[in-house]
Amino acid sequence: MTESEYLTAICAFTYFGPARVRLLTSYFKSPKKVWESTLRELAEVGLPEKKTIEFLNFRKNFNIESYFERLTKLNIKVTTFLDNKFPEIFKILDGAPVVLYYRGSLNGLKTNSVAIVGTRRMTSYGKEVTEKFSSELSSFGVTIISGLARGVDTTAHKASLLAGGITIAVLGNGLDSVYPPENKTLAEEIIQKGGAVISEYPLGYPVLPANFAIRNRIVSGLATCVLVIEGAEKSGTLLTASHAAEQGKTVFAVPGPITSPLSKAPFYLLKNGARMATETRDILDELDMEVRANEKSWAGYT
């Protein structure tokens, strides 16, 4: 077994979050030594006895070889912070995942990328705006990142694919299932067209409400900047924007009708330092992409 495989096995015990796994790996000097540690050794790190016993029982019943054989059958790959292909940004961000499962290709992360996020209950205005930004950014070679959720996420992924672009979906559950289930075909199309479906969760990990807020830090972390399109006053959209700000990413927001409850999140962000996006050029300028703004190349984009 490689050190990365031992690390993957450790993270499959989901009580050990990224920060704790990094602590354990640092203390024991290697994932293999963490995996082979005794009850007494783990107690010395300050782990609760009950959780330590749970980990030892989990380890006893977890077959690493069988787990990776199952991953292979499902065409799921794994990368960890010990690997060269692990996204560089996650090697330095606090609270970043230490393991990522993915189907497809991570090549889309080698170029500029924009996370497009927003409400699940988007209006016709939100749909139109999402399609506009996603398709136009994709036509300039920008990778679109979102969470495969209903509403803005789904629309962003679909618009990117229709424009011939690369898009990456970050899930809040294990990759042996797709949520929401109606997006299973969309997930396969994302993979087939050069993108990827990603998760930090092990096989079999269920869909839980708390997962999505945690997942959002990966969505923002993978992106060069974040674009918010519609969101309620209290929503996961604001959490994504908050993660982005903490990560040093530029947050854009699209203003909406002042009478719409789903304009609350964008307006809040705009009043608190986010940049306004009314056209694709606003974001391309931020990405330092050279754009020929002549009438021909920008026909239909204003």
Per-residue model confidence as pLDDT tens digits over 213-254: 889 999 999 999 999 999 998 877 888 898 888 888 999 999
Question: Residue holding tokens 């997930």?
Answer: 187
Pair 69, 174 in one domain: no
The answer to which of 24-33, 272-281, 289-298 has the lowest mean pLDDT is: 289-298
Pair 274, 190 in one domain: yes
Judge whether 228 lies within some domain.
Answer: yes
Q: For 202, what's the count of Cα atoms within 13 Å in the CB-facing half-sphere?
A: 17
Pair 195, 259 in one domain: yes
Judge whether 298 lies within some domain.
Answer: no
Pair 56, 120 in one domain: no
The pLDDT tens digits for 45-71 are 888 889 999 999 999 999 999 999 999
Q: For 241, what's the count of Cα atoms within 13 Å in the CB-facing half-sphere?
A: 28
Pair 229, 130 in one domain: yes
Whichever domain contains 248, its CATH number is 3.40.50.450
Judge whether 91 lies within some domain.
Answer: no
What band does 288 get if pLDDT is binned at 50, 70 and 90? confident
Pair 170, 264 in one domain: yes
pLDDT score of 153 = 97
Write down the mean pLDDT value for the chain: 91
Judge whether 164 lies within some domain.
Answer: yes
AA identity, residue 146 = S
Pair 268, 127 in one domain: yes
Buried-exposed string 41-57: b where 16+ CB fall within 10 A, e elsewhere: ebeeeebeeeebeebee
Interstrand relation of 225-229 and 113-118 (parallel, antiparallel or unpaired)? parallel
Judge whether 58 lies within some domain.
Answer: yes
Question: Residue holding tokens 């075909």?
Answer: 185
Pair 114, 228 in one domain: yes
- Final residue before a domain boundary, out of 62, 78, 94: 78
Pair 51, 111 in one domain: no
pLDDT score of 186 = 98
- Final residue before a domain boundary, out of 28, 63, 78: 78
Structural domain containing residue 26: 3-78
Judge whether 291 lies within some domain.
Answer: no
pLDDT score of 289 = 55
State the total domains in the chain.
2
Pair 168, 24 in one domain: no
Judge whether 31 lies within some domain.
Answer: yes
Judge whether 234 lies within some domain.
Answer: yes
Taking the C-alpha atoms of residue 260 and residue 11, their distance in angstroms, rounded to an integer, is 42
Pair 15, 125 in one domain: no
- φ/ψ region of 263 (left if φ > 0, alpha if ψ in -120 to 50, else beta) reads alpha
pLDDT at 302 over 80: no
Pair 275, 134 in one domain: yes
Taking the C-alpha atoms of residue 106 and residue 258, their distance in angstroms, rounded to an integer, is 39
Residue range 76-105: average pLDDT? 89
